[in-house]
């Protein structure tokens, strides 16, 4: 089983999503965060299931989609590092 590691940036992203969505509905914000965490959790069993991030083209940098959100992660041996979570209308930039 692959280990999931959440980068500090990804945690901040999910908290910001909860805050933003929570302005309209705290319940929906909680459900959305639960869904994001569950989708990321599936990578334990299938770490290569996400597609390669099209803007980058690096085989080790992948993403899974959860509703309108992109969950970008990096394959690192026996672990997956969740790097960032952001709205799909934005392009990913590797800084």
Per-residue pLDDT of the chain (95 residues; tens, 9 = 90+): 899 999 999 999 999 999 999 999 999 999 999 999 999 999 999 999 999 998 888 999 999 999 999 999 999 989 999 999 998 877 676 66
> Is residue 80 in some structural domain?
yes
The structure's pTM equals 0.91
| CA dist., res. 25 & res. 29, Å (int) | 6
User: Is position 95 within any domain?
Assistant: no
Residue 79 lies in a domain: yes
The reply to whether 55 falls in a domain is yes
Question: Within a domain: residue 22?
Answer: yes
Whether 51 is in a domain gets the answer yes
Cβ neighbours of residue 3 under 8 Å, at least 6 residues apart? 44, 78, 79, 80
Structural domain containing residue 62? 3-87
Number of domains in the chain: 1
Select from 43, 41, 60 the least CA-distant residue to 52.
60
**Is-contact 22 16, C-beta < 8 A?**
no
Domain of 27, CATH number, reads: 3.30.2310.20
Domain assignment of residue 92, yes or no: no
């Amino acid at each position: 089983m692959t280990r999931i590691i959440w980068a500090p940036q990804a945690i901040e992203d999910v908290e910001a999503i909860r805050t933003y969505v929570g302005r309209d509905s705290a319940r929906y914000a909680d459900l959305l965060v639960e869904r994001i965490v569950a989708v990321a959790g599936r990578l334990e069993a299938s770490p290569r299931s996400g597609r390669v991030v099209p803007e980058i083209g690096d085989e080790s940098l992948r993403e899974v989609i959860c509703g309108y959100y992109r969950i970008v992660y990096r394959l690192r041996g026996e672990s997956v590092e969740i790097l960032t979570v952001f709205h799909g209308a934005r392009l990913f930039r590797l800084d």
